[in-house]
Amino acid sequence: MVNSRDRREKDCDQYRTQTPHRVHAGLLANYHGYSLFYPRICFQTTQVLVSNSDSSLPLFVDVDGTLIKSDLMFESVLLLLKRNLIYLLLIPFWLLKGRAFLKHQLAQRIELPVERLPLNEEFLAYLVAQKNAGRSITLISGSNQASVTRLGNHLKLFDAAIGSDAQTNLKAAAKLQRIQELNTGSFAYAGNSSADLPVWAAAQQVIMVNCNDALVKQLGNDTILRFDTAASILHKLWQAMRPHQWLKNLLVFVPLVLSHQANQIELLMLASIGFISFSLCASSVYLLNDMLDLNSDRQHHSKSQRPFASGELPLAVGFLAVPGLLLVAFAVALLLPATFLAILFTYWLLTSLYSFFLKRLFLVDVFTLAVLYTMRIVAGAAAISVITTNFLIAFSLFLFLGLAMVKRVTELVNLAESEQSVVNGRAYGPEHTTLLSLLGSGSSCIAVLVFALYINAEDTTRLYGSPIVLWLICPLLLCLLARIWLRARAGRLDEDPVLFAISDRVSQLITLLCGVLIWIAA
């Protein structure tokens, strides 16, 4: 590959003569409804190493990972499973008949929302410029013909759109053969993976999109255009696992603290193992949830930046990571009592049902969330073999039911600023804001009432030397919960109130004061 700056500057000057000023100057250009930002590609993330003669070659463009940052087959599988889990039993049998047959069966049952797919916008802007210059561009993909046609019709950029049928999977050598049938002369090809090596080897111009340096070196071709650089999969996977959400699993330590045994190293180790197991299990479900929520997340102002929704993390990685994390979580849980393992399995089963079905049911979703939070506390008790009191379970259920409703109210308040009538993937609309606010604030107050009743309980007088001090916690809890509700209704709260309560300075101070009061009461 030619790397000198003089060569790049010369090539960029040649490229600019063919590119409309509105595109290469870094302005917003509209092409058939797409708002495109075309950066100054020559000296930023894109390496332009191509002569004028190459731009006259017919250009064949791959879809998965090249034109879009996702994979149409995996997107179809997720939509099909979300529609009906019974297809989980059929997909392996379809795959036994070949990938082409599997893609054909998926395309017959699923109509992908191609308008929401994450595009490689930098590369797309290049295609727009080439099309404006009169270049012939053909979309050719291993994805099924129906999906490729739908995408091509939506973009209105390509002279033809060619995909796989029920017998032939247009990949590697099969794709090269089809290109040579369509074009007897020289051609250019844009791809993204090692499966494209046979096509690149025959192409006069090579265009690489989101390819790592190892693949570039393997190709060893001087006539290369590179767009973007492949993002670190491990970094994006870590981000998708949402390690910041692991703070919620600190609830596992609540029984240890409330039983006044936090100074016992052995019990602390057991609770820590439970924390690790729950965190890995939760991350497995977070990945699954994000994969199932691709379409709704892509319409959300912040969730659209999640690794799967944005296309930065391949869905294939998710299909491997979900069962992988789950197996590790249960392997770790084997170090704890069988009761903990049973609770962890129930937690995973309930969260999976939530991801597939329960989240779309009115009020059922918030009650499910309250139960899931409470299960962390019950699991913590099982890990150290102590009994959870009814007061603690009741307090947890009402507290987290209120916080779950705060989450929905926050989504509805944010919804008022958009043009949508319902929260994507949920059963709530603006008309439910008042109802949820009343139910949620009432549930929060009941949680404080349960705590007040706990102060006078027989177990409390046995555990605490000065239980009367605990009464001071009640107004602190009311202040904390009232503050969360006020911020939610004012639109000044993140959509996860539990994380807000953990990370907010005022909330941290109130929590610290409550901890001090518990210590004094003991």
Residue with tokens 């027989």: 458
Please provide the CATH number assigned to the domain covering 233-388.
1.10.357.140
Q: In sequence order, what are the residues at sequence separation of 6 or more whose Cβ sits closer than 8 angstroms to the Cβ of residue 514?
A: 473, 476, 477
CATH number of 5-230: 3.40.50.1000
Residue 52's pLDDT is what?
44
Strands 224-227 and 47-49: antiparallel
Burial profile 35-51: b = 16 or more Cβ within 10 angstroms, e = fewer: ebebeebbeeebbbbbe
Determine if the pTM surpasses 0.85. no
CA distance 454 to 445: 14
CA dist., res. 340 & res. 348, Å (int): 12
For the chain of 522 residues, list the mean pLDDT of each consecutive stretch of 10. Answer: 40 39 33 40 38 72 94 94 91 94 94 92 92 93 94 94 93 93 91 92 91 81 72 89 91 90 92 96 94 88 88 94 97 95 96 88 92 95 91 94 91 73 71 89 94 87 85 93 89 76 84 89 82
Q: Which of 407, 402, 377, 401 is nearest to 389 (CA)?
A: 377
Decide if 412 contacts 433 (C-beta within 8 A): yes
At 422 the pLDDT is 64
Contacts 24+ apart (CB under 8 A), 459-466: 459/389, 459/391, 463/260, 463/522, 464/521, 464/522, 465/521, 465/522, 466/520, 466/521
